[in-house]
Chains A and B, each alone.
Chain A
Amino acid sequence: MSNVLKKLEILAGAAKYDVSCASSGSNRSNSGKGLGNASPWGICHSFTEDGRCVSLLKIMFTNYCMYDCAYCLNRRSNDVPRTAFTVKEIVDLTIEFYRRNYIEGLFLSSGVVKSPDHTMSLLIRVAKELRTNHRYNGYIHLKSIPGASTELIREAGLYADRLSVNIEIPSEPNLKMLAPEKDYRSILTPMNSIHQGILVSKEDTRKFRSAPKFVPAGQSTQLIVGATPDTDNQILTLASGLYNHQDLKRVYYSGYIPINTNDSRLPVLSTPPLVRENRLYQSDWLMRFYFFRVDEIVNDRHPNLDLDIDPKLSYAIRNPWMFPVDVNKAPYELILRVPGIGVRSAKLILTSRRYGRISSYQLQKMGVVMKRAKYFITCNELGSSTINEIKPENMKQLFMPKKEIKKKDKHPGQLSFVFPD
């Protein structure tokens, strides 16, 4: 087993750049004899020192890989220690960790060895062993290997709660440049098969309640941000399309971390673009929970997200005609558009205002961030100036982090001389 400890170090380290972490959306109950269950809301069990949730045992089957993708730690041309688990080792590790409540389940991906189909069937063997021999009902997330056959994808879907195929690079020409052995077809074909499988399974369960589940937690994908010059408009338009047409549950955005510093195809970055990544997640939220269309967040005139302020505030400043919103009258969708009001407080406002008019004091109590919201609403007695009096062009100033402004005043980085014409 001490051998396994070493493998675990290598193959967990190799899997960590996949940022998918959710264990939600599935509902597997336990008949009373087996081990584990999956709850629809998902459970985190720990948090790494970089602040990300640890919900699943995220490991690779092997980090040997026949591909040579520029952005990947495990690419063929990298000189890193290589190893591979056996099926039994992964199964035992999953079960022992699960029984101790360390994890919510298994996330298994792999380098591509021999062929996509060979690799895919290794992953399936692990999942099948867990489900059938060990009557394990915990969460399983399998990575679909790009290029794997439809039959294997179908089989994997019967054992997994979630399947994912990573798109990684948001536009095809750039993907071709960084990952010559991959193309959009090898990614989108399995994605389509999974989508089809889910639709068929939904239809079946409508007819027979006992019909086997097919990836009940849906599918997800990951996009690397900042490795290529793709704009936020390109990234979010792609994501929006995936939500609308492929019915994806989640799109993850992973700020590019320069792992392979000697590759001239990649940009030189001193730190990963974490702020941009964060803005993309905020925009993703706006699309999924706040009824925003992608072209309201980014478009040809505004192709990149503002890094200084969040996308909802940025939208509000670009669309002052919409405000102020009357919290005592406006519909839910409009209240949701107010910066500083989230889903939770919007719902509280809606249920409460039937009992009487809501004051700014109550809004604050309900969790509305008045510091931001006050410029965009009217309510009972709130008398402060709104966006239209202050003028949209002056709004951003109000929200810029104060510290930085001070710093700049004290130590101007560069002197500027203005020469009159």
Chain B
Amino acid sequence: MAIWIYDKTFEGFLTLVFDCYQKKIFPDRILGYGNVQFSLFQPEYEVLTDEVRAKRVWDGLHKKVSSTNCQMIYYVFLSEIEDIELLLLRYIRKAFGSEESVELNFGDCDVLELLKIDRKVVREAERIRMFVRFQKTKDGIYYASFDPKYNVLPLVTKHFENRFPDQRWIIYDTRRNYGFYYDLKNTSEFKFAESFIDASTGKIDQSIMGTDEQLFQDMWKSYFKSICIKERINPKLHMQMLPKRFWKYLIEKQT
């Protein structure tokens, strides 16, 4: 069984594709450095991420499928689903190996699967746009914790730059422990060294909270309560629309 390992970056994955074609070997399993210990077998090849090789694969893909589909490959990669690399590799082989474009052939399991995972990732990114709740700090930074199933934070920074160009904000992925900070000019990735955030609620510490912040949180909670029509209460529907895994950071769902 051919097991390859790589660094779990998208560039690393593209390099891996390049190496497959060069060596004319397609691995049976692809693991990240961290996962190796769980495998019974030893990896037989280690991919060394290489910008040039990655770019050649990326450009090659753009010739074979539309840019929408290239984007889809990236999005699906961000899902971090187990063995997602194998699906992507199969898809890429079909794209490179076929005369006509394969991307609309949804009768093909891999093509359809790619589309389905892409939708899931897009939906998760959408959920950040929906459910992120900023809290204002004393020095005027708007902070939000989020815990997305897939690694979609990089897909939404543009949205918040466009929407809030005149306020400084932070969105932090508590599951992967990294975030983005927008300083009125640029958005940059960072990691907290020490945290002023309550891990279970995402709430910022009282000591750094802005003066009116608590009031607006209370008003939002009270608004949320007032607009519910009690004759129509439907917990099942509520849960379906607002899955429980998002509740922990939602002000209106905190008691």
- The chain A residues found within 8 Å of chain B, CB to CB, are 1-2, 4-5, 8-10, 12-13, 15-17, 29-30, 32-37, 43-54, 57-58, 93, 96-97, 99-102, 255, 257, 271-272, 274, 348, 351-356, 358-359, 362, 365-366
Measured CB to CB, the closest approach of chain B to A113, in angstroms, equals: 21
Which listed residue (A13, A45, A99, A352) contacts B164, Cβ 8 A? A99
Q: Are A16 and B164 neighbours in the complex by a CB distance under 8 Å?
A: no
B195 CB–A CB distance under 8 Å:
no
Measured CB to CB, the closest approach of chain A to B218, in angstroms, equals: 7
Asked, given contacts A351-B106, A352-B106, A366-B112, whether A274 binds B232 with beta carbons under 8 Å apart, the answer is: yes
Asked, given contacts A17-B229, A43-B129, A355-B105, whether A49 binds B112 with beta carbons under 8 Å apart, the answer is: no
- Return chain A residues, CB-CB under 8 Å to B129: 43
Asked, given contacts A271-B231, A358-B107, whether A45 binds B131 with beta carbons under 8 Å apart, the answer is: yes
- Return chain A residues, CB-CB under 8 Å to B163: 30, 36-37
B132 CB–A CB distance under 8 Å:
yes
Which listed residue (B162, B232, B241, B250) contacts A53, Cβ 8 A? B241
Q: Are A366 and B106 neighbours in the complex by a CB distance under 8 Å?
A: yes
6 intermolecular pairs with C-beta atoms under 8 Å apart: A5-B219, A5-B222, A49-B228, A51-B238, A100-B216, A271-B231
B135 CB–A CB distance under 8 Å:
yes
Q: Are B232 and A50 neighbours in the complex by a CB distance under 8 Å?
A: yes
Q: Are A48 and B228 neighbours in the complex by a CB distance under 8 Å?
A: yes
Measured CB to CB, the closest approach of chain A to B117, in angstroms, equals: 13
Which listed residue (B107, B134, B226, B229) contacts A100, Cβ 8 A? B134
Which listed residue (A5, A255, A351) contacts B218, Cβ 8 A? A5
Which listed residue (B126, B162, B220) contacts A97, Cβ 8 A? B220
Measured CB to CB, the closest approach of chain A to B209, in angstroms, equals: 13
Given contacts A12-B223, A47-B241, A348-B106, 12 further A-B contacts (CB under 8 A): A9-B226, A15-B227, A16-B226, A32-B165, A36-B164, A49-B233, A99-B164, A99-B167, A100-B136, A100-B216, A100-B220, A365-B109
Mark B224-255 against chain A: 1 for CB-CB distance below 8 A, else 0: 11111111111101101110000000111000
Asked, given contacts A50-B229, A274-B232, whether A96 binds B212 with beta carbons under 8 Å apart, the answer is: yes
- Return chain B residues, CB-CB under 8 Å to A4: 219
Q: Report the Cα distance A131→B127, complex, angstroms.
A: 27
Asked, given contacts A100-B134, A100-B136, whether A16 binds B228 with beta carbons under 8 Å apart, the answer is: yes
Measured CB to CB, the closest approach of chain A to B108, in angstroms, equals: 8
- Return chain A residues, CB-CB under 8 Å to B216: 96-97, 100
Q: Report the Cα distance A359→B106, complex, angstroms.
A: 12
Q: Are A49 and B222 neighbours in the complex by a CB distance under 8 Å?
A: no
B142 CB–A CB distance under 8 Å:
yes
- Return chain A residues, CB-CB under 8 Å to B132: 101
- Return chain B residues, CB-CB under 8 Å to A354: 104
- Return chain A residues, CB-CB under 8 Å to B105: 351-352, 355
Chain B residue with minimal CB distance to A46? B252
- Return chain A residues, CB-CB under 8 Å to B133: 100-102
Chain A residue with minimal CB distance to B230? A50
Q: Are B232 and A272 neighbours in the complex by a CB distance under 8 Å?
A: yes
Mark B126-166 against chain A: 1 for CB-CB distance below 8 A, else 0: 10011111111000001010000000000000000011111
Q: Report the Cα distance A359→B164, complex, angstroms.
A: 49
B1 CB–A CB distance under 8 Å:
no
- Return chain B residues, CB-CB under 8 Å to A35: 164, 166-167
B25 CB–A CB distance under 8 Å:
no
B40 CB–A CB distance under 8 Å:
no
- Return chain B residues, CB-CB under 8 Å to A32: 165
Measured CB to CB, the closest approach of chain B to A358, in angstroms, equals: 6
Chain B residue with minimal CB distance to A353? B107
Measured CB to CB, the closest approach of chain A to B198, in angstroms, equals: 17
Q: Report the Cα distance A271→B234, complex, angstroms.
A: 13
- Return chain B residues, CB-CB under 8 Å to A43: 126, 129-130
Q: Which residues 80-136 in B have Cβ within 8 Å of A in the complex?
A: 104-109, 112, 126, 129-136
- Return chain B residues, CB-CB under 8 Å to A365: 109, 112
Q: Report the Cα distance A338→B32, complex, angstroms.
A: 46
Chain A CB within 10 A, most for which of B104, B133, B232, B252 = B232
Chain B residue with minimal CB distance to A14? B226
Shortest 7 CB-CB distances between A and B: which pairs? A51-B237, A50-B232, A47-B241, A12-B226, A352-B106, A355-B105, A351-B104
B193 CB–A CB distance under 8 Å:
no
Q: Are A49 and B238 neighbours in the complex by a CB distance under 8 Å?
A: yes
Q: Report the Cα distance A86→B242, complex, angstroms.
A: 33
Measured CB to CB, the closest approach of chain A to B200, in angstroms, equals: 20
- Return chain A residues, CB-CB under 8 Å to B228: 16, 48-50
- Return chain B residues, CB-CB under 8 Å to A54: 224, 227
- Return chain A residues, CB-CB under 8 Å to B222: 5, 8-9
Which listed residue (B106, B126, B162, B227) contacts A12, Cβ 8 A? B227
Measured CB to CB, the closest approach of chain B to A62, in angstroms, equals: 16
Q: Are B220 and A102 neighbours in the complex by a CB distance under 8 Å?
A: yes
Measured CB to CB, the closest approach of chain A to B2, in angstroms, equals: 29
Chain A CB within 10 A, most for which of B109, B126, B129, B235 = B129
- Return chain A residues, CB-CB under 8 Å to B232: 50-52, 255, 257, 272, 274
- Return chain A residues, CB-CB under 8 Å to B218: 5
Chain B CB within 10 A, most for which of A9, A43, A44, A101 = A101
Measured CB to CB, the closest approach of chain B to A364, in angstroms, equals: 11
Q: Report the Cα distance A9→B105, complex, angstroms.
A: 53
- Return chain B residues, CB-CB under 8 Å to A355: 104-105, 107-108
- Return chain A residues, CB-CB under 8 Å to B241: 47, 51, 53
Q: Are B167 and A33 neighbours in the complex by a CB distance under 8 Å?
A: no
Chain B residue with minimal CB distance to A365? B112
- Return chain A residues, CB-CB under 8 Å to B165: 30, 32-34
Q: Are B142 and A50 neighbours in the complex by a CB distance under 8 Å?
A: no
Q: Are A362 and B107 neighbours in the complex by a CB distance under 8 Å?
A: yes
Q: Are A8 and B223 neighbours in the complex by a CB distance under 8 Å?
A: yes
